[in-house]
Amino acid sequence: MRTFLAAVVFQALVLRRLADLHALITVPLFTLALVSIMVAAGRADLAPHAVVAATVIAVWNMALLVSGEVVSGERENGSLEALVAAPGSLTAVVLGRTVTTTVVSLLSLGESVLVAWLVFGVRPEVQHLGVFVSTLVATTVAMVGTATAFAGLFVLARSARTFQNSLSYPFYLLSGAVVPVALLPEWLQPLARVIFLSWATDLIRDCLQRAPVPDAALRVGVVLGLGVAAYLAGLYALSRIVNRVRADGTMGFA
């Protein structure tokens, strides 16, 4: 626990750099662009969905660009050897840093709501607070799990930046952030359903509607299940990758 808390504090200090807050800085621009499209198309009723989309994009970017580089960043700095040799658990360090980044990324929701309200007078109203809070918690857990998987993957990937750039826009589409999954081509929908963000995005949208949220518990459970699966896969990959670079003598090779 001490290692985890130390990692949380360290990551909070690291996030003071503007470069790591790039996703939060661009949230107002994404919100302006997406809400403008809805309003200009005469569908102001869909403007709250654009607010959700801008938030999902920001949270995903923070996980991909900041949390995903937790281990590879240590490797580039030449500090990964000391981190692995230290008594503290590497897993606790990665978990503490990814949790901090994910929690900070949720500030994008407040940013997006504020911009939509000040500029367009749009105020998304949550109709089902319990489901909404449960979805945010489940999404946070799932995002941490996915970021942990990225952290392991990027240690081996010499071109991590290429992966990061490649995984941005396809996930904007598959997550249903901009276009609901139900409106995607039928052949693409099964692929979108294995991504936790598509379930989370649909749930958040449903929480803004007056109608009851169908199968809320089951859908929140799916988000949690996919997140836990990604976390376990990430831990396994991280363990195997660290053992491999130890055996190859490439721990500090970046």
Q: What local confidence, expressed as pLDDT, does residue 218 receive?
A: 92
CA separation for the pair 102, 67 (Å, rounded): 8
Q: What local confidence, expressed as pLDDT, does residue 123 receive?
A: 82
> 235, 57, 245, 72: which is closest to 159 by C-alpha?
72
Q: What local confidence, expressed as pLDDT, does residue 236 receive?
A: 83
Question: Cα torsion for 21, 151, 175, 126, to the nearest 10°?
Answer: -50
Q: What local confidence, expressed as pLDDT, does residue 2 receive?
A: 77
Q: What is the pLDDT along the chain (254 residues), one digit of tens a residue?
A: 777 887 787 777 777 776 677 778 888 888 888 888 888 888 877 888 888 888 888 888 877 777 667 777 777 777 777 777 777 777 788 888 888 888 888 888 888 889 888 988 888 888 899 999 999 888 888 888 888 877 777 766 666 667 767 777 787 788 777 778 888 888 888 888 888 888 888 888 888 888 888 888 999 999 899 888 888 887 887 787 777 777 777 666 55
Q: What local confidence, expressed as pLDDT, does residue 221 receive?
A: 92
Alpha helices in 157-215 (DSSP H): 160-174, 189-192, 196-207
CB 127 within 8 A of CB 208: yes
Q: What local confidence, expressed as pLDDT, does residue 155 receive?
A: 67
- Domain parsing of the chain, residue ranges: 1-7+14-248
DSSP string, 199-243: HHHHHHHHHTSSS--TTHHHHHHHHHHHHHHHHHHHHHHHHHHHH
Chain-centre distance for alpha carbon 29: 19
